[in-house]
Structure 1
Amino acid sequence: MSVLLIEAFYGGSHKQLMDLINEEIEGCVLYTLTAKKWHWRARTAALYFMQAILPDDKYRVLFTSSVLNLAELAVLRPDLGKLKKILYFHENQLIYPVQKTQERDFQYGYNQILSCLVADIVVFNSAFNMESFLTSIKTFLKKIPDHRPKNLEEIIRPKCCVLYFPMTFPDISQFLPEHKRVSHTLADNMSSMDISHCPKTSLQAENMSVEFSHDQIQSSIGESSAEQERATISEKNICASGDPVILNASNTLAGDIRQKKPLHIVWPHRWEHDKDPETFFKVLLKLKEKELTFHVSVLGETFTDVPDIFSEARITLGSSVLHWGYLASKDDYLQALCMADVVVSTAKHEFFGVAMLEAVHCGCYPLCPKSLVYPEIFPAVYLYSSPEQLYRKLENFCKRPDVARRFHLSPSKNDCPVCTDPRGLAKNEPGLMHLISFKRKLKGKSYN
């Protein structure tokens, strides 16, 4: 079987997925466009691939993400339109939170609906992604002045299924500080656990008593708080030149230092408005106004338009910043995550959250909105309902960082109710099983 892989936005999780499939499944041919100018990729990629993809009668399956207008490509290249077409949704545009609504914004969601209509199988990376897309079709199409199509949800839904993003978790033992090596055994457990397609309640807290109150914190801080204020920090702060500072994993935390060192918060998301950096920095600045001590690392990719809040926040946060900017090296990125205590999401638009799960794998305590995909992945104790609640949680952790460092999450395949045999998607399609199941999602594992 020969599989044609097409990715119109070859970066981030889109690249991770295509690379994994290409590596693990024999007979793949990969065509890509670089991850630049997303809007232009969504508009014009089909025309490019029409010319770029060489004819080959060995192709049996076409796999692509929803950035590509599959309907256009199928018409422009009838030979490709005849293949078994699988469409994977990393995100959907029907509920995308745009800064300013314009008529052209309609086209991106409309293209995804058309792609679903010509696809044979439509795969979503979470139940939230699938349901938010399908249930929004009717409302979305009301923007059409007249002669609106009907019953498209009913036509598309039978093609749809959920297949959680197949993540691989590398060995991070070399990057872990001492306190995580002692209390956090997730790296050792990952080899025998599968979180790749079963996030529902699969992240179990070893101790759920972390949900403490402000009064409890005040009564228990005592001498520890005073010691924390007197503590010296061994890592260097951000350079005056703005160059990123990579934390050294040899600067370990152990014993009393676990309490003395300031809380280290990490934000590992794209520098775009849909990740709501404004709320994140507003909360951090409030912590700073209250004279609470913390460190922060702001990671994630940047694209053409970076929200102004980033340059403003970097100046205001000053010496609280340990790292600022994208880390091209995966090892450097993992090392930065391993040195952090708490990972925060303030996203308005999230359908899986690879960065959050990577940070959890590195021993970070997650704080996520009680919305979007997060309730599908994380137990309620790790969710917050408002910016004020996020502030209170971080305030408590700033006063008692040892509490955040005491807990970690463990993926548990046995407690995952949505775990199903992914081969079921292809049970009536001989040969297609190899692709749909993302064979050997985690290196060395197969679903037999």
Structure 2
Amino acid sequence: MSVLLVEAFYGGSHKQLIDLLRENVEGCVAYTLPAKKWHWRARTAALHFMHAIPESSSYRVLFTSSVLNLCELVALRPDLASLKKVLYFHENQLVYPVRKDQERDFQYGYNQILSCLVADVVAFNSLFNMESFLSSISSFMKRMPDHRPKDLDGLIRPKCVVLHFPLQFPDVTRLLPEHKLFHQPIPVSQIDIVSAPQGQERLYLDCPKATCPGEPKSQNEDERDVNSSRAASLLCLYPEPGDGTLDHKEGPRQSPASPKEAQYTQREKDAVVEQTERRQGQMKPLHIVWPHRWEHDKDPELFFKTLVKLKERNLDFQLSVLGETYTKVPEIFAEAREQLDAHILNWGFLPSKDGYLRVLCQADVVVSTAKHEFFGVAMLEAVHCGCYPLCPKSLVYPEIFPAEYLYSTPEQLCKRLQGLCKSPDVARRHHVKVDTAAYSWAALEEGYRRMLAA
């Protein structure tokens, strides 16, 4: 074993990263502590790992997150000091929000600064995380009464790199409702119509070329008539949910019939979705999902306050509140469950990844109200599942999401959600302009391998 993975808080994104590296990078061995009592892990984990990690001459690289006081560990275990030491920042304690009734504990940020000084490589999951940390060191150290060190950021910056958190996006096609199949991150400029049993035609979105039999070809029709006619032709080929022609568990089954050729514009695809919804009767309410940790830094108070306003305005919506819970859950969750009970579809952590993805695939809009976010795994997973994102115009979000998905004030968030409640089809037809593939393990693997090379 040449790569020593040490994680003092083995949960959430910390766990995901350790597991990913252990499974995909040769020569890794991991030592971890459960994700409980974060503050105590930051204070005492080094002492635990001093005993837990056996001595070995085969170690070449030490990889750990910034929860661990790396300075203490290499002092307690001098045999680890000579390794290539990589420190990964999922978050940083210099700008991490604290409750109004609490004073920021100097020790946690100080530990992270010391860890950077002894590390050989300091990696951050976003540019926002890196710059907010480095730019805050000087003001943070001014809290010392005297003998304040200077230019620490200048010592640390040359070691720093931005290496986004790597996600493994599963194929969720089988979980998607029909309207989202139009908006998958695969080229769908062409669709395939093939024959099904009893002569019924079938619509596919991932085949190279196709034709709509009997499609009007007159070039003298105006654009509206053309779109309407072509959409109607597609609509008659689009299967009703539950009619047996489309199995969401197994995906579409290809017919042996030969495809013909035709091209359909995005407007025509949108027309299919609209007419299908109308044919199904009353449009389903907007499904809003909140997939974040149940902690104060995600600002659940703002989220639930906004939804209560929507309820008071007699707007219809459905709600799924997911995410992990820890020792203490903010009181607002119990209050919100009672106030919004009639709107709730899902409430609480889903231990099954498949179940979690299924809810994301059925949702229309994913919302973040975070006061602290250095990357945002949950938001990107939801976008991968076809959700329309709404995020604060701050923190890491402008680094990842285009301006049209950002809001600046609580009033703007409420207004955006109000509009989507009135017109859910706006979110359902929209193709989110975020390249989730750029944050995949496939795209980032080489960077991680170079970083973990001895």
Task: Indicate conservation of the 8 Å contact 2:98/2:104, yes or no.
Answer: no
Q: TM-score, with normalisation over the residues of structure 2?
A: 0.77
Partner of 2:134: 134
RMSD: 2.6
Partner of 1:119: 119
Residue by residue, what CA displacement relative to the aligned partner does 1:348-386 show, whole Å, maximum 9, x if unpaired? 000000000000000000000000000000000000000
420, 428, 433: which is aligned to 1:397? Answer: 420
Residue by residue, what CA displacement relative to the aligned partner does 1:32-87 show, whole Å, maximum 9, x if unpaired? 00111111111111000000000010000000000100000010000111110000
User: Structure 1 residue 420: deviation in Å?
Assistant: 10
Q: Where does structure 2 lack aligned partners over 5 or more consecutive residues?
A: 189-240, 242-246, 250-272
1:357 is aligned to 2:380: yes
Residue by residue, what CA displacement relative to the aligned partner does 1:231-252 show, whole Å, maximum 9, x if unpaired? xxx9xxxxxxxxxxxxx979xx
299, 318, 328: which is aligned to 1:305? Answer: 328
Partner of 1:172: 172
1:270 is aligned to 2:269: no
1:435 is aligned to 2:452: yes
Residue by residue, what CA displacement relative to the aligned partner does 1:289-333 show, whole Å, maximum 9, x if unpaired? 000000110000001111110000000001101110000110010
Q: Where does structure 1 lack aligned partners over 5 or more consecutive residues?
A: 190-233, 235-247, 426-431, 438-448
Mapped partners of 1:422, 1:24: distance in 2: 9
SS in 2 for 1:9: strand
Task: Indicate conservation of the 8 Å contact 1:265/1:343, yes or no.
Answer: yes
**Alignment length (residue pairs):** 369
Task: Indicate conservation of the 8 Å contact 1:171/1:187, yes or no.
Answer: no
Mapped partners of 2:187, 2:23: distance in 1: 24
Residue by residue, what CA displacement relative to the aligned partner does 1:408-428 show, whole Å, maximum 9, x if unpaired? 225549999xx9998679xxx
Distance 1:166 1:422, change over 3 A: closer
SS in 1 for 2:320: strand
Q: In terms of Rg, which structure is larger? A: 2
User: Structure 1 residue 284: deviation in Å?
Assistant: 0.3
SS in 2 for 1:122: strand
Q: TM-score, with normalisation over the residues of structure 1?
A: 0.78
What is the letter of the counterpart of residue 408 of structure 2? S
Query: Once the two structures are aligned, what percentage of the paired residues are identical?
Result: 68
Task: Indicate conservation of the 8 Å contact 2:368/2:390, yes or no.
Answer: yes
User: Structure 1 residue 150: deviation in Å?
Assistant: 1.1
Distance 1:424 1:365, change over 3 A: closer
SS in 2 for 1:99: coil
1:318 is aligned to 2:341: yes
Distance 1:343 1:102, change over 3 A: closer
350, 375, 391: which is aligned to 1:368? Answer: 391
Mapped partners of 1:370, 1:376: distance in 2: 10
Alignment of 1:86-97 (within 5 A): 86-97=86-97
Distance 1:81 1:170, change over 3 A: same
Task: Indicate conservation of the 8 Å contact 1:249/1:335, yes or no.
Answer: no
Partner of 1:208: none
Mapped partners of 1:413, 1:320: distance in 2: 30
- Bigger shift: residues 280-289 or 98-107: 98-107
What is the letter of the counterpart of residue 184 of structure 1? H
Distance 1:129 1:436, change over 3 A: farther
Partner of 1:40: 40
Partner of 1:255: 277
User: Structure 1 residue 177: deviation in Å?
Assistant: 1.1
